[in-house]
Structure 1
Amino acid sequence: MKITRAIVLAVALSGSAASHANDTAIGDDNGTITFKQLPHVSMDSEALFISEALVTVDYVFTNNGPADVVTPVAFPMPPAYFGDSDHTEIENFKVWADGRLVNAEQKWVIRRGEVDVSDQVRRWGWTTDDIFRLMQGGGTPKGKKPLPSHWFDTNGEPLITISKYHVWQQTFPAGKPLTIRHSYVPSVTTGVPQSWSTLFEAYGKETCPDKALIAGIEKRDGEGGWEYNFLSYILTTANHWQGPIKDFKLTIRKRQPTDVFSLCFDGAFKKTDPLTFEFRQSDFRPTRDLKILFLRRRKPE
């Protein structure tokens, strides 16, 4: 016996354009796209590795129910970015289930605030390319119905986002563990070197630099400023599985021993080598998403 859940795309994402996310099951809720709880599937472990160049996540799930569950699982990309700051895209996304490479389907999702308007926009005859042109300063395509005026701010800028999702159909076998792994080159926000005070003014509220970190940076300050990468990771979607994460491990790795990083996090990291910091906890329930600011001292030319 197999329980098959309806397949539809996508879920609310908020925050920085440089966000990433945990895998989560998705489904159709009377036309509103929402995360779907899987009440019988637990996340037995999650090992999350984050660096500026690579993100990997290894999960073990167990379906504790009496029957197999077949459901679409989605990895949501950050909303496409159309601003002025330097911003990289997620690259080389791969996913494996029980060691086998999965062929995930790519779909685009259009959202206005917390509402998925993808089907509505497409019923009006708009294509994904039309939305991209609109977001880049274009107007209503010839022959297409204009989008509602309240979908734009007072400056005429669209109040919508468009995001890519990797979606695949996944079987969670009854009573058996399932391993899922994915990896990718993360999306980061960066720019020309800045003073540390300017960077903390921009990112400090999101990344919680403490007094000891600031004091250490002040001692090393000088000409040239600080190179930086800002990276976000959506962690709270892990709460959509049965119970807490039974065994959670977070590893953050710097590029160089002299680099520093800052994030808001309720837990202490253990330094395991000059580049690597680890946090581990049983029965972990994430209460906030991760926003990490990596800094390195730029050498004067």
Structure 2
Amino acid sequence: MLRRVLLAGLALTAPPAFANDSMAELGTGGLILSRSDSIAMESEDLFISRDRITVDYVFRNGSETDIDTIVAFPMPDIEGNPDRMVAIPDDPSDNFLGFEVTSDGREIKPQLEQRAFAAELEVGADLKAQGVPLYPAGEATSAALEKLPQDVADDWVRRGIIVIEEYDDGSGWKKVRTPYWKLQSTYWWRATFPAGKPVHVSHRYKPSVGGTAGLTFFYDGRFQGEYEAYRQRYCLDESFQNAVRKAAGRNAGSDPQMMESRIAYVLTTGGNWAAGSIGKFKLTIDKGDPKSLVSFCGNGVRKTGPTTFEMTADDFYPERNIDILLLDRWSHGD
């Protein structure tokens, strides 16, 4: 059972949020190995902040022969849905998270596999045939869609590859061809794990940080809205509630004037190594600002600095993903 933890430092921030004030975070995670009963994960050192995620692994091949296998890093899916705004750190690039990886200190140049789907059918070949980038965000994709022949555009609308978005931007009514496909991207490479030797693998990237200009779980002086879902996802406890109430008491209208940031780390998709557990697991979370309020679920978490919190475990088996909620002071200039 995970203990409820409040890892704090109080902040003041913004008014209640509406749907168009919210940006959804993309869940990211770590490396996945092809199934092996001989390669053990001796340790994992995971660091999470709003600016970067770094993961340092030590793998060991316990067999008497070298093992060649595939190592992969699944990127989060990108959906071209005009009704769902997501936080993408590096908009124009296929490597939108800035993923980098090394093995025993040597830089790895992974291959990138991308597939596009609409209505659960693969449509990557259709996109490539028309010179449309698979990445559904960015100006290059929008420009390519506008150049489509009308008969192709009509066919793509019928097949759910694109939708026609209609709006008035003040200069007249617009009809825009908008991506509606889903992009799946995976970085992968072949790796050799020598018999009986440790292999150190490290990777880093910039996380997708969702946010809301206000609180979705507290407004009009009480906990409501998304509170129950947040309480379970982020382990919000009584100390957290008191901190939010205290902030609300300092502001007119019983609103705490806070804004949310959210990070999601997928921890439960690994386990394709010997025993399925991690020999030594260390998690460090850095909230960035000492005044920020942060809450997440964990066992034996301790504060190690003005902004950092640490959890360690032996023979660790991840039972749930890591979801982090941060509340920050709302700038009076915003």
- Normalising TM by the smaller chain, what interval? 0.7 to 0.9
How many residue pairs are counted as aligned between the two chains?
266
Q: Which residue pairs with 1:87 in the alignment?
A: 87
Q: Which residue pairs with 1:173 in the alignment?
A: 194
Structure 2 counterpart of 1:295, which letter?
A: L
| 1:104 correspondence with 2:110 | yes
Contact 2:286 2:307 in 1 (8 A): yes
Q: Among residues 31, 42, 52, which one is paired with 1:23 in the alignment?
A: 31
Distance between the aligned counterparts of 1:225 and 1:293, measured in 2? 16
Distance between the aligned counterparts of 1:46 and 1:299, measured in 2? 37
Alignment of 1:87-236 (within 5 A): 87-89=87-89, 90-110=96-116, 120-122=122-124, 125-127=126-128, 129=133, 132=136, 142=151, 161-194=182-215, 197=218, 201-202=225-226, 204=230, 205-221=232-248, 222-223=250-251, 225-236=257-268
Distance between the aligned counterparts of 1:37 and 1:57, measured in 2? 20
Query: How much is the aligned-residue C-alpha RMSD, in angstroms?
Result: 3.4
Distance between the aligned counterparts of 1:233 and 1:299, measured in 2? 27
Shift of 1:143: 5.2
What CA deviation, in whole Å up to 9, does each residue of 1:121-175 have, x standing for no partner?
A: 346x443636838x98x799755976996999xxxx9986313222222111111
Change in 2 beyond 3 A, CA 1:230/1:42: same
Structure 2 counterpart of 1:19, which letter?
A: G
Contact 2:25 2:86 in 1 (8 A): no
Distance between the aligned counterparts of 1:216 and 1:245, measured in 2? 35
Structure 1 counterpart of 2:101, which letter?
A: V
Contact 1:18 1:187 in 2 (8 A): yes
What CA deviation, in whole Å up to 9, does each residue of 1:26-66 have, x standing for no partner?
A: xxxxxxxxxx3221111000000001111110000011123
Match of 1:241, SS state, is coil
Question: Which sections of structure 1, spanning at least 5 residues, go unmatched?
Answer: 1-15, 26-35
Indicate the percent of aligned positions where both proteins have the same amino acid: 28
Q: Which residue pairs with 1:31 in the alignment?
A: none
After superposing the two structures, state which structure 1 stretch, 42-51 or 219-228, moved more.
219-228
Structure 2 counterpart of 1:294, which letter?
A: L
Contact 1:41 1:242 in 2 (8 A): yes
Q: Among residues 65, 68, 78, which one is paired with 1:70 in the alignment?
A: 68
Contact 2:101 2:108 in 1 (8 A): yes
TM-score, normalization: structure 1? 0.75
Change in 2 beyond 3 A, CA 1:232/1:130: closer
Match of 1:217, SS state, is helix
What CA deviation, in whole Å up to 9, does each residue of 1:51-102 have, x standing for no partner?
A: 1111110000011123222222111111115445361335332111001111
Q: Which residue pairs with 2:323 in the alignment?
A: 291
Structure 2 counterpart of 1:261, which letter?
A: V
After superposing the two structures, state which structure 1 stretch, 231-240 or 245-254, moved more.
231-240
| 1:42 correspondence with 2:40 | yes
Q: Which residue pairs with 1:29 in the alignment?
A: none
Contact 2:79 2:180 in 1 (8 A): no
Distance between the aligned counterparts of 1:286 and 1:99, measured in 2? 27
Contact 1:66 1:175 in 2 (8 A): yes
Distance between the aligned counterparts of 2:300 and 2:156, measured in 1? 51
Change in 2 beyond 3 A, CA 1:200/1:206: farther
Distance between the aligned counterparts of 2:309 and 2:269, measured in 1? 23
Change in 2 beyond 3 A, CA 1:264/1:147: farther
Contact 2:279 2:316 in 1 (8 A): yes
TM-score, normalization: structure 2? 0.68
Q: Among residues 261, 264, 269, which one is paired with 2:301 in the alignment?
A: 269
Contact 1:71 1:171 in 2 (8 A): yes
Contact 1:17 1:81 in 2 (8 A): no
Shift of 1:107: 2.2
Match of 2:270, SS state, is helix
Distance between the aligned counterparts of 1:190 and 1:271, measured in 2? 24
